[in-house]
Chain A
Amino acid sequence: MKLSTVFSGTILPVIGAGVLLWSCASADAAAQRLEKHFTVKGRPVVVIHNVGNGRIEVKSWKNSEVVVTGTKASDKIAVDTEQAGDRIDVTSSVVDFTANAKEMEANFQLMVPEETELQLKTQTGLIYVEQVTGDMTLDSVAGDVHLKEVSGYIIVTTTGGSLVCTQCAGKLEFSSISGSAQVLQPTLNNVKLRTMTGNILFDGDFVHTGLYSMRSGKGLVEVRFSGNDSFDLTAQTATGTVDNQAQEYLKPDSHGVKHMASKFSKSLFGTVGMGFAKVELSSYSGTIRILKRD
Chain B
Amino acid sequence: MVVILVAFLLTSKPREQVLQVQEDPYASTVTTLSQQEHDLANMQLASTGATSAVDTSLQQNLQQVNEFIADCERRVREVPSDELAREYLTNAYQQKAQLLSAMMDRGGSLN
Contact = CB atoms under 8 A, between A and B. Distances in A.
Given A53-B53, A123-B54, A282 B102 contact: no
* Interface residue range, chain A: 20 to 34
B82 A262 contact: yes
Interface residues of B, number: 30
A225 interface: no
Contact of B84 (A177, A218, A265): A265
Main secondary structure of the interface of B (DSSP, over half): helix
A178 B85 contact: no
Interface stretch (A40-48, A55-63, A94-102): A94-102
B53 A238 contact: no
A124 B54 contact: yes
A218 B102 CA distance: 23
Most buried by B among A53, A159, A239, A282: A159
Contacts of B82: 238, 262, 264-265
Contacts of B102: 141, 159
A97 B53 contact: no
A264 B111 CA distance: 46
B61 A284 contact: no
Interface in B45-60: 49-50, 52-54, 57-58, 60
Interface of A: 51, 53, 94, 97, 100-101, 104, 123-124, 141-142, 159-160, 177-178, 194, 196-197, 217-218, 236-239, 262, 264-265, 282, 284-285
Interface of B: 49-50, 52-54, 57-58, 60-61, 64-65, 68, 71-72, 75, 79, 81-85, 88, 91-92, 95, 99, 102, 109-111
